[in-house]
């Protein structure tokens, strides 16, 4: 199966740590990457591969992978981290991307 | 600065056609595979179509197969998505996205700002 499942929503207090997970059998084959999307904006790549951040992404965002689960951790959450986060991976054909259902992160 | 810029969105009646374009700048688009990803209002992201850097390989989501055609003109640094037999459920923001592949795996590192397609009578 190429489906990726995420929790719909999570909240975190300002300065605290939150972990978002992404589950799918395809993650046993391909690494997940993570995208942040704020209202009215295009997605932005925040984590890819084992745990790499593009230039400009703060190091309070980190990723990890284990079995069929990928995780994105925000350590010391800031107000600007409030967004929807999507995971994605290649699908079983290896040609397309499949996206997770998205997790809305609210910073309290 | 690396950029992708989409254009061509608009309002079209069910059964109609539309072609959206994606122009790359700040890098050689001709050396990358490109995806079209759409997002219906209030919904998540869906991969629609992908084209290899040469244009020789094309793949489509089942939801658009036989109705949408992806193509590219590497001399113009442009990728197209021709959408025929449009349905109300095709209403979405359409993003083009640059496909990257290295030792870290596959990921999209550059996204366009999106172009809105509305299918309505």
Whether B88 and A18 have beta carbons less than 8 Å apart is answered as no
For residue B22, CA distances in Å to A44, A60, B14, B95, B96 come to 17, 33, 23, 9, 6
Question: Residue A12 and residue A28: Cα distance in Å, rounded?
Answer: 29
Question: Residue B121 and residue B119: Cα distance in Å, rounded?
Answer: 7
A63 interaction partners in chain B (CB closer than 8 Å): none
Q: What is the pLDDT of residue A2?
A: 75
* Chain B residue closest in CA terms to A29: B105
Share of chain A above pLDDT 90, in %: 92
B37 interaction partners in chain A (CB closer than 8 Å): 97, 99
A contact set with B (CB within 8 A) = 30-31, 33, 35, 42-45, 48-50, 52, 54, 86, 88-91, 93, 95-102
Question: Residue B18 and residue B96: Cα distance in Å, rounded?
Answer: 15
- Give me the average pLDDT of each 10-residue run along chain B (121 residues): 96 98 95 96 96 95 96 96 98 97 89 98 93
Q: Which of A42, A89, A100 sits opposite B95 (nearest CB)?
A: A42
Whether A3 and B77 have beta carbons less than 8 Å apart is answered as no
> In this predicted model, what pLDDT tens digit does every residue of A7-45 receive, in sequence order?
999 999 999 999 999 999 999 999 999 999 999 999 999
Pairwise CB contact (< 8 Å): A100 & B44: yes
Give the pLDDT band of residue A1 (cuts 50, 70, 90): low
From B7, B36, B34, select the one nearest B19 (Cα to Cα). Answer: B7
Question: Residue A68 and residue B36: Cα distance in Å, rounded?
Answer: 26
Q: What is the pLDDT of residue A94?
A: 86
């Amino acid at each position: 199966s190429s489906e990726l499942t995420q929790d719909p929503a999570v909240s975190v207090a300002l300065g605290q740590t939150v972990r978002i997970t992404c589950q799918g059998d395809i993650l046993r084959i391909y690494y997940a990457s993570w995208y942040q999307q704020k209202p009215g904006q295009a997605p932005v790549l925040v984590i890819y591969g084992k745990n790499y951040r593009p230039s400009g992404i703060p190091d309070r965002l980190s990723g990890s992978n284990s079995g069929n689960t990928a995780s994105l951790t925000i350590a010391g959450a800031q107000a600007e981290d409030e967004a929807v986060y999507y995971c994605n991976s290649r699908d079983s054909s290896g040609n397309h991307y499949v996206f997770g259902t998205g997790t809305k992160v609210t910073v309290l | 600065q690396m950029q992708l810029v989409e254009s061509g969105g608009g309002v079209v009646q069910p059964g109609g056609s539309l072609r959206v374009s994606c122009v790359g700048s700040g890098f050689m688009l001709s050396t990358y595979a490109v995806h079209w990803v759409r997002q219906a209002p209030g919904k998540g992201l869906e991969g629609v179509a992908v084209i290899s850097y040469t244009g020789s390989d094309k793949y489509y989501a089942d939801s658009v197969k036989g109705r949408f055609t992806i193509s590219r003109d590497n001399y113009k640094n442009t990728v197209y998505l021709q959408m025929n037999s449009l349905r109300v459920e095709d209403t979405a923001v359409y993003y083009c996205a640059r496909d990257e592949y290295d030792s870290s795996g596959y990921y999209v590192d550059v996204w366009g700002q999106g172009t809105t397609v509305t299918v309505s009578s």
